[in-house]
Amino acid sequence: MGDWLEQNGPLLGLALLDGIASAALIFMVAVGLNLVFGVLRVLNVAHGSLFAIGAYAAASLGLFLASAGLPAWASLPALLLAALLVGVVLGPLIERVLLRRIYGEEPVLQLLVTFALFMILEDAQKLVWGVQPVSFSTPVSLLGTVDVPFGADVIPYNTYQVILLPAVAVATLVGLALFLRRTLTGRVILAVTTDREAATAMGIDARRVYLLTFTCGAVLAALGGALSAPTSSLVPGIGASTIVLSFAVVATAGLGQIEGAALTALLIGIGRSVAVTFMPELEVVVPYLIMVAVLLVRPQGLFGVAETRRV
């Protein structure tokens, strides 16, 4: 083991760096899905669409600002602005028009309805942005690269990916934790998460909490998309691949667990990059191997609590 580490330590270090960068984006998307499920108890398949629309909107806004002659640094706040616009417009719209009607329905029906919404939004994306890949890499170019020593060599990394994305993810995690535990609104959300009936009986307006939570989740999904836009070309279907991975994170973390989502995103991100480095054939299955391993030992997820079922 010692010999292996001595030989492969530098490579492992690089893999950890890649894993952390990858985990940051995974977390941003999965935490919104987890938050929504924790409060609304609706597994929202259309979360992937909000991610995709956030990404497309950020790219469009960034390209528009560039064409208007604004300086390159304006592309960074544009990412946040696009995510806020998408989340604040689409979140309440979806919650009020659609989800509010199905809160009391069977989970299968809820899944079907959000899946239908996902399909509609996929087509809407094609109508608006077409099918050709859309790219917007100004923020990545703006921040340049950092050289990481690797023996006598150096490995260039994008500053955007290894510094900015993890920083935003940590800020989101800390901000969400503080919001939920230190503010009245956050505590109200936690109360509804813990026991909806009791919270409602105490006079909490659950419908308002649902609206607020879903909007937060939508903003987080769109922010995940917006932050991913500068690193990848956007094509039809990006929402679908994102939602599958997010489900794996949510199931592994424990439904409704924010810190769990952060830890699981780290596990999956690092697991995938270590696999690429040492056993590339396992890369595709690593997230699901981690999920299966965790669920075999803790069926309620890493941070989930076992619930008694009412009969």
Partner 1 sequence: MLPSATLTRRGALLAGFGSVLLPASLSAQAPAQRPSELKIGITTFLSGPASVFGVPGRNAAEMLAEEINREGGIGGVPVRLFFVDEAPGVDHLVGEFRRLAQNERVDVMFASISSGSCLACTPLAEELRKVTLLWDCGTQRIFEERRYQYAFRTQANATPEILAPLLYLLKNRPDFRTLAVVNQDYAWGRDSWEIWKTGMDALKPGVRVVAELFPRFGATDFSAEITRLLALRPDVVLSTSWGGELDTFIRQAAERRLFERSTFVLPLAESSLERVGRTLPAGHIVGSRGDHWHQHPRPANPQALSRFVEGYRRRFNAYPIYPTYHMAQAFSALRAAYAKAIQANGGNWPSDAQLAAAFPNLEFDSPTARMRIREDGQGLEPQLIGTTVHNDRLPFAVLDNMVVFPPEMVTAPVGQNSVAWLKTLSADMVGRVPDPIRATG
Instruction: Find the shortest distance in angstroms from Cβ 265 to partner 1.
Output: 13
Element (H, E) at 164: none
- HSE, side-chain direction, 13 A CA sphere, residue 125: 31
Number of residues that bind partner 1 (CB under 8 A): 47
The two tokens of residue 122 are: 């996929």
End-to-end alpha-carbon separation of the chain, Å? Answer: 52
From the list 96-104, 175-183, 186-194, 278-286, the region that binds partner 1 by CB under 8 A is 278-286
In the complex with partner 1, the residue whose CB is nearer, 194 or 278, is: 278
142 lies in the binding site for partner 1 (CB under 8 A) = no
Q: Can you give the C-alpha Rg of the chain in angstroms?
A: 20
Contact 260, 253 (CB under 8 A): yes
237 lies in the binding site for partner 1 (CB under 8 A) = yes
Contact 270, 287 (CB under 8 A): no
- HSE, side-chain direction, 13 A CA sphere, residue 58: 36
95 lies in the binding site for partner 1 (CB under 8 A) = no
Pick from 127, 116, 124: which is nearest to 46 by CA?
116
Window 143 to 172, contacts with partner 1 (CB under 8 A): 145, 150, 153, 155-158, 161
Instruction: Find the shortest distance in angstroms from Cβ 228 to partner 1.
Output: 6
In which residue are the tokens 């909806």 written?
A: 196
From the list 11-19, 28-36, 61-69, 193-201, the region that binds partner 1 by CB under 8 A is 11-19
235 lies in the binding site for partner 1 (CB under 8 A) = yes
Q: How far apart are CA 268 and CA 20, in angstroms?
A: 10
* Burial label, 276 (beta-carbon count in 10 A; 0-12, 13-18, 19+): middle
The two tokens of residue 119 are: 């399909």
From the list 72-80, 91-99, 252-260, 273-281, the region that binds partner 1 by CB under 8 A is 273-281
In the complex with partner 1, the residue whose CB is nearer, 17 or 218, is: 17
In the complex with partner 1, the residue whose CB is nearer, 110 or 161, is: 161
25 lies in the binding site for partner 1 (CB under 8 A) = yes
Instruction: Find the shortest distance in angstroms from Cβ 156 to partner 1.
Output: 5
Contact 273, 292 (CB under 8 A): no
- Kindly list the residues in this chain that would bind partner 1 in the complex (CB under 8 A): 11, 14-15, 17-19, 21-22, 25, 122-123, 126, 130-133, 135, 137, 140-141, 145, 150, 153, 155-158, 161, 228, 231-238, 240-241, 272-273, 276-277, 280-281, 283-284
